């Protein structure tokens, strides 16, 4: 029989997937149970409402020094999830009841935020609460967090201070116009890489100001922007690439080294010649600006394989989990610039 120390080294190398290997090894024998224990939760994928609730409860039941999660992927939706918008029985489903039972007022509350009686009626708020409970339990150990929200969230960032966070990906549409959230955002100076999808940049938006407060030492930013054709897009990009030296409030971090800009899905231009000209003119301005800026990486538009909503969710969810696993195993993930746009054609 190999010595325990050698088995621990083997488990250290093997436990780099979504958590399946670590859990399986612990069932093989007493020796492997002991050898795999420090690594069983190091890398974990949590998929769907019930798993989110159960994992939150598990973490809160463990001793503090046993919650050594360093990489986590959380998806609020899976292809097997109930249709919460059209299913009249969703509120009586096991997953919704489990989220209501988990909810505790005064824990992980957003400021300003909804009242408790509103939260227990709102799937998105209950999900945010459950995910915040998970992040709170692992806030001193986790380094890489990927979260896939399948529906609109009424906030930009979750209200959890994560002391060692280095990389964060947030997928899904979100609120970015309410300035009241900004003074209450946690500050995470260790965060270096941030990816956000469904982003919009406009004059009265709060996204850039929120990032400036939340991640003051950010070096890599990836935004999938859905208003790439906005007439003032280049002005907004300039705020990130070349922030003013006057140091105004909520100035974007001057530490940015690389800004990946994804223009979202390729949309049909339609038959109108004027509309085509406006879109191409806006594309050209952004393309030429990005080519002049060494920090900018303008990526190619996303090819949506099927326009049905469930297929879009599946494609987005698989993209996030694939990128997360690639990063866990030392790959570039979304930070690979080989898909950059080299021409407008």
**What confidence score (pLDDT) does residue 228 get?**
84
Distance separating alpha carbons of residues 24 and 47, to the nearest angstrom: 18
Three-class DSSP category at 263: coil
284 pLDDT more than 70? yes
Average pLDDT over residues 136-156: 94
Closest C-alpha to 174, from 157, 162, 187: 157
**What confidence score (pLDDT) does residue 81 get?**
80
Terminus-to-terminus CA distance in the chain, angstroms? 62
Tell me which range, 34-48, 86-100, 176-190, is most confidently predicted by mean pLDDT. 176-190
Band (315; pLDDT cuts 50, 70, 90): confident
Average pLDDT over residues 29-49: 72
19 pLDDT more than 50? yes
**What confidence score (pLDDT) does residue 272 get?**
57
202 pLDDT more than 70? yes
Element holding 46 (H helix, E strand):
strand 43-47
CB count, 10 Å around CB of 232?
12
Percent of the chain at pLDDT > 90 equals: 55
DSSP 76-120: S--TTS--TTT-TTGGGSHHHHHHHHH--TTSS--SS---HHHHT
**What confidence score (pLDDT) does residue 219 get?**
97
- Tens-digit pLDDT profile for residues 215-258: 999 999 999 998 888 888 999 999 899 887 766 667 888 999 99
Distance separating alpha carbons of residues 289 and 344, to the nearest angstrom: 13
- Tens-digit pLDDT profile for residues 70-109: 999 999 998 888 777 666 678 888 999 999 999 999 999 8
Distance separating alpha carbons of residues 41 and 5, to the nearest angstrom: 19
Average pLDDT over residues 256-269: 82
- Tens-digit pLDDT profile for residues 294-307: 999 999 987 655 55
Average pLDDT over residues 179-183: 91
**What confidence score (pLDDT) does residue 194 get?**
98
Q: What is the CA radius of gyration of the chain?
A: 21
**What confidence score (pLDDT) does residue 144 get?**
97
């Amino acid at each position: 029989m190999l010595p325990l120390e050698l088995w621990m080294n083997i488990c250290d190398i093997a436990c780099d997937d979504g958590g399946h290997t670590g859990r399986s090894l612990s069932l093989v024998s007493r020796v492997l149970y002991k050898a795999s224990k420090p690594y069983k939760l190091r890398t974990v994928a949590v998929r769907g409402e019930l798993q989110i609730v159960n994992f939150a409860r598990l973490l809160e039941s463990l001793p503090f020094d046993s919650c050594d999660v360093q990489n986590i992927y959380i998806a609020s939706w899976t292809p097997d999830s109930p249709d919460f918008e059209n299913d009249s029985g969703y509120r009586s489903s096991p997953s919704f009841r489990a989220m209501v039972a988990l909810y505790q007022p005064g824990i992980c509350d957003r400021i300003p935020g909804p009242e408790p009686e509103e939260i227990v009626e709102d799937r998105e708020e209950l999900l945010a609460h459950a995910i915040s409970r998970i992040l709170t339990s692992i806030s001193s150990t986790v380094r890489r967090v990927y979260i896939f929200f399948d529906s609109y969230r009424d906030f930009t960032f979750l209200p959890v201070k994560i002391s060692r966070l280095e990389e964060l990906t947030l997928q899904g549409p979100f609120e970015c116009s309410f300035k009241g959230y900004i003074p209450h955002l946690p500050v995470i100076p260790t965060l270096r890489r941030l990816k956000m999808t469904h982003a919009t940049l406009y004059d009265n938006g709060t996204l850039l100001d929120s990032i400036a407060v939340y991640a003051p030492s950010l070096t890599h930013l990836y935004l999938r922007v859905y208003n790439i054709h906005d007439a003032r897009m280049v002005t907004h990009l300039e705020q990130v690439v070349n922030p003013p030296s006057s140091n105004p409030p909520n100035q974007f971090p001057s530490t940015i080294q690389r800004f990946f800009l994804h223009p979202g899905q390729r949309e049909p231009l339609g038959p109108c010649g004027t509309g085509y000209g406006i879109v191409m003119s806006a594309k050209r301005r952004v393309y030429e600006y990005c080519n002049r800026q060494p920090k900018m990486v303008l990526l190619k538009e996303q090819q949506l394989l099927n326009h049905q909503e469930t297929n879009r969710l599946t494609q987005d969810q698989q993209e996030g989990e694939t990128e997360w696993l690639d990063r866990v195993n030392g790959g570039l993930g979304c930070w690979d610039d080989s898909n950059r746009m080299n021409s407008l054609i």
